[in-house]
């Protein structure tokens, strides 16, 4: 296979309706950069295989596809790393869309910042009814420790799949953890911020569609991922340098608070209460997180 600068990988699982939009948004700009596209069907049970075949016939030779047994998003992304040759990879969800001019902008940015190993781009959030909100990429903190803290704890560093490009070198410490079916990008993004130079591109790279049935809102998968397993993966020795391990306890509390928020919004109040107290046990400073504590106080009177 010819080596490319950028390989775009679209994991596809039961999004036959939106897959053409995602694929065509990439095909429209492949010629603007040394880029290629691979679509991986993760054992879909809807019309995804038929839709994909129709796209292959409509655009012969313009992209590749493969089908695998269902293994979850991590397994698809890891397969994408193996099957592509691009120096940088973009993982675009099949219900999202690549922004016009994104590949050209990424190629130019890489040329101007050849040492960057992750480019964090801006994106459009698209809501039901078509309303859009531009999410700019904020400047990164000065040090890698501040970047990790901003991403894991303070939520001042935001990264979205589809709106970021990662050099394949960044997967050497560890690829996507296949035992996690949710938040699988947390350990990867954290290790990149900790170990590699990163940069910001303030041009929209993707249109990210917000909808209720997205895996981003799947409480069952979030609960399955749990707390300790996620924390252990993020702070595994191979991923996170030892000098950052003092952040582990604070991240455990943050993870518990994230699950508290998800359970609260789904009216799973008993579980929400348990996660809040787990966060409090992990880090007493949870009390000062008033947006969470206020909700926890309400639960005491239910």
Which two structure tokens, joined as six digits, stand for 94?
A: 């099949």
Q: Can you give the pLDDT at residue 1?
A: 47
- Is the pLDDT assigned to residue 217 strictly greater than 70? no
Instruction: Look up the pTM and report it.
Output: 0.92
Q: 3-state SS string over 236-270?
A: CCCCCCHHHHHHHHHHHHHHHHHHHHHHHHCCCHH
Q: How confident is the model at residue 234 (pLDDT cuts 50, 70, 90)?
A: very high
- Is the pLDDT assigned to residue 222 strictly greater than 80? no
Q: For 270-301, write each residue's pLDDT tens digit.
A: 999 999 999 999 999 999 999 999 999 999 88
- Is the pLDDT assigned to residue 260 strictly greater than 90? yes
What distance in Å separates the CA atoms of residue 231 and residue 172, rounded to the nearest whole number?
Answer: 20
- Is the pLDDT assigned to residue 32 strictly greater than 80? yes
- Is the pLDDT assigned to residue 96 strictly greater than 60? yes
**Domain boundaries of the chain, sorted by first residue:** 6-217, 247-300
Q: Can you give the pLDDT at residue 10?
A: 98
- Is the pLDDT assigned to residue 219 strictly greater than 80? no
Closest by CA position to 40, among listed 4, 8, 18, 5: 8
- Architecture of the domain spanning 6-217: Alpha-Beta Complex (3.90)
What distance in Å separates the CA atoms of residue 302 and residue 299, rounded to the nearest whole number?
Answer: 5
Which two structure tokens, joined as six digits, stand for 183?
A: 């938040």
More confident of the two residues 218 and 302: 302
46-54 average pLDDT score: 97
Q: Can you give the pLDDT at residue 224?
A: 72
Residue 30 is classified by DSSP as: G
Q: Can you give the pLDDT at residue 20?
A: 98
Closest by CA position to 93, among listed 1, 188, 191, 22: 22
Residue 32 is classified by DSSP as: G
Q: For 132-190, write each residue's pLDDT tens digit.
A: 999 999 999 999 999 999 999 999 999 999 999 999 999 999 999 998 878 899 999 99
């Amino acid at each position: 296979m010819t080596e490319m600068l950028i390989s775009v990988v679209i994991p596809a699982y039961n999004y036959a309706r939106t897959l053409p939009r995602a694929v065509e948004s990439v095909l429209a700009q492949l010629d603007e950069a040394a880029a290629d596209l691979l679509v991986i069907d993760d054992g879909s049970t809807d019309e995804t295989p038929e839709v994909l075949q129709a796209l292959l016939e409509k655009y012969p030779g313009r992209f590749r596809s493969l089908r695998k047994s269902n293994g979850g998003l991590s397994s698809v992304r890891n397969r994408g790393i193996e099957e592509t040759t691009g120096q940088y990879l973009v993982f675009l969800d099949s219900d999202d869309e690549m922004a016009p001019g994104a590949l050209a902008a990424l190629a130019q940015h890489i040329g101007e910042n050849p040492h960057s190993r992750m480019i964090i781009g801006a994106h459009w959030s698209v809501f039901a009814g078509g309303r859009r909100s531009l999410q700019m990429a904020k400047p990164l903190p000065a040090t890698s420790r501040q970047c990790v803290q901003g991403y894991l704890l303070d939520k001042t560093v935001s990264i979205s799949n589809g709106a970021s490009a990662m050099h394949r070198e960044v997967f050497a410490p560890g690829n996507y953890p296949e035992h996690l079916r949710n938040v699988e990008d947390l350990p990867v993004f954290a290790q990149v911020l900790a170990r590699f130079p990163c940069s910001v591109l303030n041009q929209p790279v993707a249109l990210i569609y917000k909808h209720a049935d997205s895996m981003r809102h799947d409480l069952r998968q979030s609960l399955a991922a749990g707390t300790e397993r996620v924390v252990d993966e993020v702070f595994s020795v191979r991923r996170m340098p030892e000098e950052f391990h003092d952040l582990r306890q604070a991240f455990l509390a943050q993870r518990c608070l994230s699950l508290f928020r998800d359970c609260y919004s789904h009216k799973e109040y008993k579980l929400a209460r348990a996660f809040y107290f787990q966060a409090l046990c992990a880090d007493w400073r949870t009390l000062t997180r008033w947006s969470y504590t206020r909700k926890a106080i309400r639960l005491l009177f239910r």
